[in-house]
Structure formats: structure tokens, C-alpha cells
Amino acid sequence: MDVVLLSRLQFAAATMFHFLFVPLTLGLSVLVAYMETQYVRTGDKVWLSMTKFWGKLFLINFALGIVTGITLEFQFGTNWSRYSAYVGDIFGSLLAIEATTSFFLESTLIGVWIFGWKKLSAKAHAAVMWLIAAAGNLSAIWILLANGWMQHPVGFDIRNGRAELSDFTAVLTNLFGWLEFFHVVSGAFVLGSFFVMGISAYHLLKKNNVDFFTRSFRIALVFGLASSIVVGLVGDFHGAHVAEVQPEKMAAMESHWETTANAPFYLFVVPDEKNERNFIELGKIDGFLSLLAFKDVNAEVRGLKDFPKDERPPVLITFLAFRIMVALGTLFILLTAAGWFLRNNLTDNPLFLKIMMFSIPLPYIANLVGWIVAEVGRQPWIVYGLMKTSDAASPISVSQVSISLAAFILIYGLLGAVGFYLIGKHAVKGPETDLVAGNI
């Protein structure tokens, strides 16, 4: 392996591990804020116990997200220094804004929330939780605008061999970044809701604190149903934009090889990348790919053969990741829709509860494969059409990257084991009896 591939593996490992915790932070913060608001509105102590139980899980997850996220920004200097030198004026400014306006605000507010139970009024304390949720999502905006710029660079001039910022408004209004934001954040909300529903289902199956976990399940169910629908709708718009500005990524997502009008969609495909064709194509629907990509059944969809081989993304990985993401997204809508019809008789439907309990990992998988579609589908470009990944790596040795990659895997593996153990232990234990009884 060379330095570029090892650096890519290291960044991918760190990013995907970090992304195990970020979506739950975004989704769970909103649910906890809603629960605390219900406590303030009604004075019902069960809402307060729900806030504290789910809030503790949120805090454990948030801590792991911070630890695993800090190293990512250092890698731009250690592993991707040529990239940083070339586009640092633009990419770095967005990360700096995120750190100074969102991350520090969120971290400070969490400290206020943890230590402010007896120092703030109930209304003020609930308001702090809403501000935490808002700051977390604001942080996601800056990060995804930065990634959106890498996917569709705008608002810059090339001067002295570097990309320099010329129009900050264009960067702020980059449609690619905003579609990514709404798609990723709504996906995070789905993950948060399935996390709550899955743990609630576990306790409902055991008849533990039935009122507590039935309320938790129903709140997450409504949140999850709405979020699942939004993910699908935004994903459709995002896919159409990808077809417009990154046609080779769209072609790889569908393993579409020939440029054709009235392009067909296949229900089942086995790509044959080596021979630039599909080994198996079943379930042909004429014009449906054109309709999905351009909202016109007669539109022309460019095929992979229209692009030089060295500028095509890896087809099989992108194709499989996209299909898995879409399949899981559809499943989430079906499961939450079924839950809506069963919401008043949850404990009478143990099969459904078991399905929801074992579904906890699925939104994690959906979020990760979504990132694979976005990042692998952009290759070989680190900044689409502007800078190739092979030109972005630091002038360092293979042994240096190998050692740091091994260290990342070892340390992150230990962190993950400890983190998931704590989350699992607290989730299985359930709320304190005194909390449920209202003796808080």
C-alpha cells in the first residue's frame, strides 16, 4: 500500500468511527429537549425521569463523539498537508467557524445543563437543552457546507497555485451542502428515534416501567416516521442534484454504463466493472432512471463510458452502498408506519417489538453507507474537478502512516468497546426506580 491509500484508510476509519456517535447526538438531543419541555409544561415527574434517563445516554454518546472527532482535524495537517495548502483558505475557514460558533457553544451549554439542575429554573433548564440541540445541528451545517464545497466547489479563484475564497456568499448558499445537511440530519433523527424505540422495545418486552417506555416509544415513533419520510424526499432532490453536477457518481450509483435517453432502471443488477457492463440486469423499467435523475422520462442520462477510466469512481462499492442505503430508508418508513398503526397496543405485539429492538443497528449502517456513497462516489477527486486525492497527501513515509493507522485502530477500538459497554449497560439497566416513582 502507498501513502495515499493508507491515509485514505486512516481518514475513513476515523470518520466512520466518529460518525457512529454524531447522528445519535443530533437525534437524541431533540428528543431529550422535547421530553424536558413536556415536564415543564405538565409538571409530570415521569417526563423528568425520561429526560434524565435518555439525557444520560446522550451525554455518554456526546463524550465519545468529541474524543473521536478531534483527531480528524489534525489529519488535514499530518496526512493531507498538500490539500490543506491548496484549499485551506476556504475549507479551513468553515471548520474554524464551526469550532468557534457551534462546537464550543454546544460544549459550554452541556456543562450548564449537567450542573444547572438546581441552579436554573425548570424553563431555563429546558431552554438550555433546546439550545444544545440547535448548536449541534448548527455545527452540522458548517461541517456539511465544507463537505458540500468539496463535492461542488464554488466561490473561489485560483491564484498563485492555490484556491482562494472570492465569494463567501456562494459557499454559504451552495445547494449541494444544504441538501447534504438536510439529508444527513434527517438521517440522524431517524437513528435517534430507532435508538429510543429499540431500547424501549427491549424493556416493554420485559414489562419494565411500561408507562415510561411506552411514552418514550411513541415519541420516538412520531419523530422517526416524520424523519424517515423527510430523508426519502430530501434524498430524491439530492440525487437529482448529483445527476446534474456529478454525473459520473450518479452513473456509478446505478451502474449505468451507456449514455441513453429514456434510461431504464433495473430492480436487480450485478455490476461487471472490469468489462464495463452489468453481468445481470433484471426488472427493467423503461425511463424510470431518467425520471429519478431529471424528473423527465425522456431525459438523457450519461453513462460511465462517457468518462475517462481514471476519472470514474469505484462502481461496485458506490452501487452497493447506494442500494443498501435506499433499501434501509424504505424499510424505516415501513417499520415506523406499521408502528403508527400499532402505537396503542405495543405490548400486545411482541413480534413488532422484537423487530424494533433488533433494528437498532440498521440506521447506523444506513448512515455509514450514505457517507460511502458521498465520499467514494466522488473519487478520484478530493475536491471535485479541482484536485485529485492522489495529489493531496502529505510527503510522508509509508511507515509513518502505517504506525498511526495501527494506533488509530487500537485506540478507537478500545474507546468503542468502553463506549458501547457504557451505553449498553445504562440502556439495559433502565431508569432508576426512584426517578420513575417521581421521587426526584
Least trusted range by pLDDT, from 175-184, 335-344, 421-430: 421-430
**Exposure of 200 by Cβ count < 10 A (0-12 exposed, 13-18 middle, 19+ buried)?**
buried
User: What is the pLDDT confidence band of residue 439, given thresholds at 50, 70 and 90?
Assistant: very low
Mean pLDDT of the chain: 89
Other beta carbons within 10 angstroms of residue 365's beta carbon come to 13
Residue 415 has pLDDT above 50, yes or no: yes
Q: What is the pLDDT of residues 136-162, one digit of tens each?
A: 888 889 999 999 999 999 988 888 888
How high is the pLDDT of residue 358? 96
d(CA 363, CA 200): 16
User: What is the pLDDT confidence band of residue 438, given thresholds at 50, 70 and 90?
Assistant: very low
Residue 128 has pLDDT above 90, yes or no: yes
Peptide bond preceding 380: is omega within 30 degrees of 0, i.e. cis? yes
Torsion angle of the four alpha carbons 122, 128, 130, 135, in this order, in degrees rounded to the nearest 10 = 180
Collapsed DSSP state (helix, strand, coil) of residue 163: strand
Which among 201, 235, 204, 226 is positioned nearest to 326, based on CA atoms?
A: 235
Phi, psi of 152 (to 5 degrees): -145, 80
Which among 251, 206, 156 is positioned nearest to 350, based on CA atoms?
A: 206
DSSP assignment letter at 311: G
How high is the pLDDT of residue 61? 87
What's the pTM? 0.91
Averaged pLDDT, 44-59: 92
Averaged pLDDT, 96-104: 82
Collapsed DSSP state (helix, strand, coil) of residue 43: coil
Other beta carbons within 10 angstroms of residue 54's beta carbon come to 26
Which among 395, 390, 391, 388 is positioned nearest to 150, based on CA atoms?
A: 388
Other beta carbons within 10 angstroms of residue 92's beta carbon come to 15
Q: Which residue has the cell 445543563?
A: 113
Strand pairing category for 260-261 and 300-301: antiparallel
Phi, psi of 114 (to 5 degrees): -65, -45
Q: What is the CA radius of gyration of the chain?
A: 23
Which among 156, 158, 152 is positioned nearest to 378, based on CA atoms?
A: 152
d(CA 148, CA 338): 35
Helix (H) or strand (E) holding 267: strand 265-272
How high is the pLDDT of residue 434? 55
Residue 436 has pLDDT above 70, yes or no: no
Q: What is the pLDDT of residues 208-257, one digit of tens each?
A: 889 999 999 999 999 999 999 999 999 988 988 999 999 999 999 999 99
End-to-end CA distance of the chain: 57
d(CA 362, CA 325): 10
Cell numbers placing 300 = 438523457
Helix (H) or strand (E) holding 268: strand 265-272
Q: Between helices 315-342 and 361-376, what is the axis angle to 10°? A: 150
How high is the pLDDT of residue 227? 95
